[in-house]
């Protein structure tokens, strides 16, 4: 089977983002999606620190410490971009103005519950950032994660054992093995990586998975 | 003649008392009022409650204020970072209280304080442990959590340009929490890169109007 690496996962998510979409990319793995957005599509990236129209990373030496993204990395501003303060930025998120957000996750449940901010370990220092706002605010919440933990446990679960970021908020999950929609009837696999069959994925996942393969993209 | 410019940051922060609630602007280094924070450390006020998105990075700025043992409580959304060792140490030792607030709720609670709002219902965090014990309400088919404003005695912010009346313009993403913190605090102190003559700021581009700003310090 041909597992998707991080770049291939990012490229797969990027393929589904349509022309004209307003998109927030979470810190870490989801930020990679920005590098793979199809050329020729105008897609507007939002960063919660206060930018619409985030552009690529600047050339070395051209960084500006006043122009960063939510991951505190230097970015550029596209022509047509704008700056705004934090309350406006989260009004865009919470007010349902963003079409998509892409978030990482520890676990996603069959009901679409998302756990991505806290392992629940008593000694862990909690940090949440904007994840809970994005989870309730974006019209489509896309999750991008490895299918299994390092210990081989499925991150698709019946019920999240980690503390929730948001309840019933996830629409679609992209993993290194498959693309899975969250439907009223639970998880529904629409795409498998080459060389993987649905029964093998069901064994690995340990949760009920429906299977409705999407028509192959041209 | 109104002149909100203070000659030094020391003079602008001389009256901060022990136990004060101080908002500190900035997101990462963008908009962080580094010189005002250094001055607050030197000023010596203790038992402070700090409002910021994070809990300090490395050894400078807010991290140094925390490291100096001046902070009793911090309200923020994302304290844990790879270089938040000053916060981590005091928090684990039980010497620093943390109120963890989702970032958008933090921003809206600050905004609400400046706007005279008594409380508001937000969908953020409903059904999570950050909403435990809070009042909730079902409104038009959605669940919401009741949140209260965050007021402050001082806001220390960084802007780009100011005139002597205290009108402020910002630069790029350094704007972040500046405008909402300025409105939420009883005494807002802005450090700016450039002081300009009254009338030199295009009124169409003033982001924080003077009414929200008490003191200005020009640095560099």
Asked if residue A215 has pLDDT above 90, the reply is no
Please judge whether A128 and B111 are an interchain contact, meaning their C-beta atoms are less than 8 angstroms apart: no
Tell me, what's the pLDDT at A120? 87
CB atoms within 10 A of CB B36: 28
H or E element, residue B103: helix B103-115
The per-residue pLDDT for A16 is 97
Q: What percentage of chain A carries pLDDT values higher than 90?
A: 94
| A125 → closest Cβ in B79, B111, B174 | B79
Residue A30 touches chain B, beta carbons under 8 Å = no
For an interface test with A, the pick among B31, B76, B84, B102 (most A C-beta atoms closer than 10 Å) comes out as B102
pLDDT category of residue A218 using cuts at 50, 70 and 90: very low
b/e code B140-166 from CB counts within 10 Å (16+ = b)? eeeebbebebbbbbbbbbbbbbbbbbb
pLDDT tens digits for range A37-55? 999 999 999 999 999 999 9
For residue A92, the surrounding DSSP H or E stretch is: helix A86-94
pLDDT exceeds 50 at position B161:
yes
Are the beta carbons of A133 and B103 separated by less than 8 Å?
yes
User: Which chain B residues contact residue A130 at CB under 8 A?
Assistant: 77, 102-104
How far is residue B184's CA from residue B178's CA, in Å, rounded to a whole number? 10
Query: Which of the four CATH numbers 3.30.559.10, 2.30.110.10, 3.40.1080.10, 3.40.1350.10 does domain A6-211 have?
Result: 3.40.1080.10
pLDDT value at residue A216: 62
The closest CB to that of A50, out of B77, B100, B176, belongs to B176
Average pLDDT of chain A is 96
pLDDT at residue A122 in the model: 86
Q: Which residues contact B70 (CB under 8 A, 6 or more apart)?
A: B40, B41, B44, B45, B46, B47, B48
Residue A180 predicted with pLDDT over 60: yes
pLDDT at A210 over 60: yes
Pick from B147, B160, B152: which is nearest to B212 by CA? B152
Residue of B nearest to A116 (CA): B128
Give the pairing of strands A156-157 and A172-174: unpaired
A128 vs B contacts (CB less than 8 Å) = 77-78, 100, 102-103, 130
Q: Minimal Cα–Cα distance from B127 to chain A, Å?
A: 6
Q: Do B78 and A129 touch (CB under 8 A)?
A: yes
Q: Look at residue B10 and tell me whether its pLDDT is greater than 70.
A: yes
Query: Running DSSP on this structure, what letter comes out for residue A57?
Result: P
pLDDT, one tens digit per residue, over B73-82 is: 999 999 999 9
Q: pLDDT at residue B51 above 70?
A: yes
Work out the minimum CA distance from B72 to partner chain A, whole angstroms.
17
Spans of all domains in chain B: 5-118+149-218
Cα–Cα distance, B29 to B23 (Å, whole number) = 15
Instruction: Give pTM, 2 decimals.
Output: 0.97
DSSP state of A191: E
For chain A, which residues make up each domain, given as ranges? 6-211
Catalytic residues of A: 48
Q: Tell whether the model's pLDDT for residue A217 goes beyond 70.
A: no
Tell me whether A84 touches chain B (CB under 8 Å). Answer: yes
> pLDDT (tens digit, 9 = 90+) per residue, A69-115?
999 999 999 999 999 999 999 999 999 999 999 999 999 999 999 99
Domain at B5-118+149-218, CATH class: alpha beta
In angstroms, the separation between the Cα of residue A31 and the nearest Cα of chain B is 17
What is the tens place of the pLDDT at every residue in A110-157? 999 999 999 888 888 999 999 999 999 999 999 999 999 999 999 999
Closest residue on chain B to A85 (Cα)? B176
Whether B20 and B49 have beta carbons less than 8 Å apart is answered as: yes
CB proximity B69 to A under 8 Å = no
Cβ-nearest to A128 among B31, B88, B102: B102
pLDDT in tens, B64-122: 999 999 999 999 999 999 999 999 999 999 999 999 999 999 999 999 999 999 999 99
């Amino acid at each position: 089977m041909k597992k998707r690496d991080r770049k291939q996962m990012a490229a797969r998510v990027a393929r589904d983002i349509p022309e004209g979409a307003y998109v927030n990319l979470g810190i870490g793995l989801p930020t990679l999606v920005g590098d793979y957005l199809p050329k020729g599509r105008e897609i507007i990236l939002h960063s919660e620190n206060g930018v619409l129209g985030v552009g690529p990373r600047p050339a070395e030496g051209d960084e500006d410490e006043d122009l960063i993204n939510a991951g505190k990395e230097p970015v550029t501003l596209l022509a047509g971009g704008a700056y705004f303060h934090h309350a406006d930025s989260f009004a865009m998120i919470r007010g349902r103005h963003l079409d998509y957000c892409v978030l990482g996750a520890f676990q996603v449940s069959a009901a679409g519950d998302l756990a991505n901010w806290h392992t629940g370990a008593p000694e862990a220092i909690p940090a949440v950032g904007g994840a809970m706002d994005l989870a309730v605010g974006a019209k489509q919440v896309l999750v991008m994660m490895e299918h299994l933990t390092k210990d081989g446990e499925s991150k698709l679960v019946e019920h999240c054992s980690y503390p929730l970021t948001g309840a019933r908020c996830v629409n679609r999950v992209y993993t290194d093995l498959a693309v899975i929609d969250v439907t009223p009837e639970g998880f529904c696999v629409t795409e498998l990586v080459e060389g993987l069959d649905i029964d093998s994925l069901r064994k690995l996942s340990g949760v009920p998975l429906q299977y409705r393969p999407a028509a192959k993209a041209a | 003649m109104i002149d909100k410019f203070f000659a030094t940051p020391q003079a602008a922060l001389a009256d901060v008392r022990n136990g004060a609630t101080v908002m500190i602007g900035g997101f990462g280094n963008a908009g962080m009022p580094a010189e005002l924070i250094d001055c607050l450390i030197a000023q010596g006020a203790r038992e402070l409650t700090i409002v910021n998105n994070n809990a300090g990075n490395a050894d400078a700025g807010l991290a140094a204020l925390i490291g100096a043992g001046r902070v009793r409580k911090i309200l923020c959304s994302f304290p844990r970072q790879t270089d938040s060792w000053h916060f981590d140490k005091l928090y684990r030792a039980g010497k620093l209280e943390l109120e963890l607030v989702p970032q958008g709720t933090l921003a809206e609670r600050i905004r609400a304080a400046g706007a005279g709002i008594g409380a508001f219902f937000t969908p953020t965090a409903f059904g999570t442990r950050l909403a435990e014990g809070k009042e909730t309400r079902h409104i038009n088919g959605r669940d919401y959590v009741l949140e209260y404003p965050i007021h402050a005695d001082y806001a220390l912010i960084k802007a780009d340009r100011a005139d002597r009346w205290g009108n402020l313009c910002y630069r790029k993403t350094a704007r972040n929490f500046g405008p909402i913190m300025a409105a939420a605090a009883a005494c807002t102190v802005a450090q700016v890169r450039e002081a300009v003559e009254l009338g030199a700021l295009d009124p169409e581009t003033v982001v924080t109007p003077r009414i929200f700003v008490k003191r200005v310090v020009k640095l560099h």
